Amino acid sequence: MYKAAPRILLGALLLLTGCYNIGSRRLDQDQSDYSLALITAGKRQTLLNIVRLRYADTPGFLDTTQLISGYQLQRSFAVGVGTASPVRPSGNAGIQFQESPTFTFQPVTGDAYAQSFLRPMPIGSLLPLAMGGLPIDVLFRLAVQSVNLISNAGSIGGDVGRGSPEFFELIHDLRVLQVAGLLGIQLEHSAEIPGKMPSFDRVFLNVSSTDNPILAETVYETRRFFQMKPKDERVEVVYGAGQPRPGQIRILTRTMLGALGQIAYQIDVPQDDITSGRTQPRIQLIGRETKPIVVVHVGKTVPDNTFASVHYDKQYYYISENDFDSKLAFTMLQILLELSKTTKSPGTIVTIPVNG
């Protein structure tokens, strides 16, 4: 019987040491899980703020600044031999695993709020996104208020702020040229300062020539709109509204709050909410594009296959998983939100320990 005690001890030790590297083994799983949770929470926050703006409610932004996932592994082992006859060895082993993640949130307020949501999006950061393959027509619908003297739809309901038909014709042509590889973006710096890395402060739009007769017509119309000379293939893009100078395009970009509000007023809400004065009628788009850039559905219940959903004032607002165009535009909106963020010293911080 005494020979059984070493076997019990050896088995228990193997059991305990086998879980010793549990932290490194959970890294891949936890990284994926927490990344998915943060992305899902970000989508819900954005959609909720869009719905709040639809009803003239105050939006709120809370950034996750820190995530700490701690593990605690407790092991215990005991073995003994009884004195009674017959002699019988006894023992026990135990393992207790605890996970205690901590999330740190920082409300976006003050100067950080002004810089992130009330500052127009820089052209030098906006247009290069089209170089990465993002559809330029969706990008303009989200982030551009006007090109030269034509306007995108605004963030006011009803017939007011519905935009110019020419704007949607222009961005359609730009998308055609982008797909055909005839549209390009160039970044240049105006001057070099000794000892400093030059900043790209000039943006140019290239419209290349083609022998394709159908695309050649689109190239001609685009150049004509931009008041380019027949042989010119590029034009400088500058920030602002109104009539541009020769060789320039004037683009008035939106603030992030303006982009969110424009999507908000395209949501088709219940008629009772409009009649009662809780909100205004949605923007009535005209021209080539009459479909909202992000289609947000409203109902008493929410289906299972949703891309993002929130509950607000007894109603569910959601984006369908089967609506690729809305998902793409909403994802691009999330990218613009990330680009608009600034690095500021922490102010008010909310830390939430999670006991699982």
Q: What is the pLDDT of residue 57?
A: 93
**Strands in the chain per DSSP E:** 62-81, 89-107, 144-147, 150-151, 183-188, 202-207, 234-239, 248-253, 297-299, 306-312, 315-320, 350-353
DSSP 8-state code for residue 115? H
Instruction: Report, in this order, helix, strand and coil percent for the chain, each rounded to 5.
Output: 35, 25, 40
Does residue 316 contact residue 332 with C-beta atoms inside 8 Å?
A: no
Rounded to 5 degrees, φ, ψ at 7 are -65, -40
Rounded to 5 degrees, φ, ψ at 119 are -100, 135
For the chain (356 residues), the mean pLDDT of every run of 10, in chain order, is: 52 51 62 78 93 92 70 58 59 61 74 82 89 92 92 73 86 95 88 64 92 94 91 91 90 93 92 92 82 93 93 94 96 91 54 50
Q: What is the pLDDT of residue 219?
A: 95
CA distance 84 to 350: 60
CA distance 328 to 137: 12
Q: What is the pLDDT of residue 295?
A: 96
User: What is the torsion angle, in degrees rounded to the nearest 10, for the CA atoms of residue 309, residue 311, residue 313 and residue 314?
Assistant: 100
Q: What is the pLDDT of residue 348?
A: 44
Q: What is the pLDDT of residue 149?
A: 86
Rounded to 5 degrees, φ, ψ at 339 are -70, -25
Reference 301, options 311, 290, 287, 291; nearest CA is 311
Q: What is the pLDDT of residue 176?
A: 96
DSSP 8-state code for residue 30? H
pTM for the predicted model, two decimal places: 0.78
DSSP 8-state code for residue 289? -
Kindly list the strands in the beta sheet with 202-207, ordered across the sheet, starting from the edge strand earlier in the chain.
150-151, 144-147, 248-253, 234-239, 202-207, 183-188
105 alpha-carbon distance from chain centroid? 18
